[in-house]
Structure 1
Amino acid sequence: MGKISKKTLNKVLLRTQGCQFAHNYERMQSLSLTYCVSPVLEELYKDAPKELRVKAMQRYLEYFNTHPIAIPFILGIATAVEENTDEEHKDTVTAIKTSLMGPFAGIGDSLLNLTWFPIAGSIGASLCVANGSILGPIVMFLLINLLYWPLKYFGLHKGYESGMSLVDKFGVEVFDRLGDAANVLGVMVTGGLIATTVKLSTAIEFAFDEGDPLVLQTQLDSVLPCLLPIIVTFICYRLLKKGQGKNSAQIILGIIAVFLVLFALNYYIPGFPKIFA
């Protein structure tokens, strides 16, 4: 295992659970990263002069921002580089952190935040919607963490064992390609979730003197099934993007208010056209 003990690596793993608690808009995750890697630095520099210990800490206080699940893997590689390079070449640690944080941020956002998280959430939500079961949030929590924890554990230990050889073998470019592939997969999964979880149909009909009435929903389904769910999702997406995700509560309350008003109009005003089924 080298100079760093498995116990120390597990300390780093536990500390990564709180890697977002000290997030700031100047250096993003630098404070959390320094806190996470400090057990490694304490073990490596326990007999070193104070100046070297301070300099080692300062390497991790520089700007850093990536997906939280990728932090253990990057720290594993950084730890291996820390113990195998002399003080004159420690800039390699900063270089590897900087080169990996961008690609892993894209992979994490695409595969985890935009793919696995919605899948786990939709499974949990379906349990709640079907029968109001408390198992919904529990299942979602378990699905997320049954993937996240192994990724973090094996990422940290495998990154430490492989060190720079993993990056030298595949190159940083492979992570960019994985990010692009994950974006495509995320779009496909999100499209499937819209069709299966967003339910909206119209009850508008056009009556004629002769023959059966023209049902608008039937015509829409023949042209493009799930057109109304796609339109509603697109509107919500645009509103979320415009508000940078800070207006999600207002959007949810707004949707509820619109449909409550339409329901009240249909219920209290005779002859008011029924728009949604």
Structure 2
Amino acid sequence: MINERKITKKDLNHIFWNLQTMSFSYNYEKMQMIGFAHCMTPVLDRLYHDADKETRVRAMNRHLEFFNCQINANALILGVTAAMEEKTKEDEKEAVVSVKAGLMGPFAGLGDSLLKFTWMPICGSIGAAFALQGNIIGPILMFLIYNIVNILTKYFFIHYGYNKGVDLIEQSKNSNIIQRISNLANVVGVMVLGSLIATTVKVSTPLSINVGEQSVKIQEMFDKVMPNFLTLMFALGTFFLVKKFQGKYTVTLILSVMVIGVILSVFGVLK
């Protein structure tokens, strides 16, 4: 028999506040498992308040399985999971675990594409534009505009996921909307990063070649054939290294670029 208790708006808001601390309990065995279970406690307390101990234990154990996804996408999964906990019978609860596992991958890609690889670079480029002019508003503006979207999407997705419930999953499968939005976000992200490289990254060399009595500047030769050639080579080289090592040594790569850049600048190879 389906649980007769109903989840309230207060319970969903409680999930939203718990979600803000989800990453605090991140671990390398089951990733966000503890955080997800913590977010679901208001729902489980509401639905299984009068249930026996064994039923309550089974309900909690359902959400102590491996879980890992992008944090904003987690809000949507939490909303859908809450709806399924409310609408399914006790012998149908395995579907709750299956849905969570099935949504992790595609929703993680969607969340990363939209927030991490699209919206964050846009906010960073806006903040950097002010910061490069010496304006203190740059980092503050980046923090504000990013977190307005970050916080509002979490709140909206929890309520939207709950209201749509299982219908949201079926609609996504039929229309392939997740893949389409993800592809669109990837294109926007590439455009933003490309424009950011072109406007903020400057690599040039003061070196020159003596040809007889004349001195030919290498940078002027590059500019006539392909402007910003060194910048392009630097960007492609960095991208190649990041992809080759699958992002494992990104911090080391950043520090190495800084050190090598300073050394080459001191010896007059780059400027």
Relative to the length of structure 1, the TM-score reads: 0.86
2:9 is matched with: 6
Q: 1:73 aligns with which of 65, 73, 76?
A: 76
**Partner Cα separation in structure 1 for residue 167 and residue 247 of structure 2:** 39
2:209 is matched with: 206
Show CA shifts across 1:106-144 (max 9, x none): 11112211111112112222222211x332221111111
**Partner Cα separation in structure 1 for residue 81 and residue 229 of structure 2:** 49
Q: 2:231 aligns with which of 218, 229, 247?
A: 229
**Partner Cα separation in structure 2 for residue 263 and residue 80 of structure 1:** 59
Is 1:48 the equivalent of 2:34? no
Q: 2:101 aligns with which of 95, 98, 118?
A: 98
Change over 3 Å in CA distance of 1:167–1:223 after alignment to 2: farther
Quote the sequence identity (%).
43
* CA drift at 1:217: 2.4
* CA drift at 1:8: 1.2
Is 1:152 the equivalent of 2:146? no
**Partner Cα separation in structure 2 for residue 90 and residue 28 of structure 1:** 22
**Partner Cα separation in structure 1 for residue 263 and residue 37 of structure 2:** 52
Change over 3 Å in CA distance of 1:218–1:122 after alignment to 2: same
2:269 is matched with: 275
- 1:15-30 to structure 2, matched below 5 A, reads 15-30=18-33
Higher mean C-alpha deviation, range 90-99 or range 41-50: 90-99
What amino acid does structure 1 have at the position aligned with 2:178? F
Show CA shifts across 1:208-238 (max 9, x none): 447x754332332344333222322333334
Q: 1:215 aligns with which of 211, 214, 217?
A: 217
**Partner Cα separation in structure 2 for residue 127 and residue 112 of structure 1:** 21
* CA drift at 1:9: 0.7
**Partner Cα separation in structure 1 for residue 209 and residue 141 of structure 2:** 45
**Partner Cα separation in structure 1 for residue 126 and residue 87 of structure 2:** 45
* CA drift at 1:242: 5.4
Show CA shifts across 1:162-218 (max 9, x none): 1111222232743133323322332232222211121111223334447x7543323
Root-mean-square deviation (Å): 2.3
2:258 is matched with: 256
Q: Report SS of the residue matched to 1:48.
A: coil
* CA drift at 1:240: 4.0
- 1:90-239 to structure 2, matched below 5 A, reads 90-131=93-134, 133-171=135-173, 173-209=176-212, 213-239=215-241
**Partner Cα separation in structure 2 for residue 169 and residue 258 of structure 1:** 51
**Partner Cα separation in structure 2 for residue 219 and residue 112 of structure 1:** 40
Q: Which runs of 5+ in 2 are unaligned?
A: none
**Partner Cα separation in structure 2 for residue 138 and residue 69 of structure 1:** 22
* CA drift at 1:94: 1.4
Q: Which runs of 5+ in 1 are unaligned?
A: 266-273
Q: Report SS of the residue matched to 2:257.
A: helix
**Partner Cα separation in structure 2 for residue 224 and residue 110 of structure 1:** 31
Change over 3 Å in CA distance of 1:27–1:253 after alignment to 2: closer
Q: Report SS of the residue matched to 1:206.
A: strand
Higher mean C-alpha deviation, range 140-149 or range 167-176: 167-176
Change over 3 Å in CA distance of 1:202–1:180 after alignment to 2: same
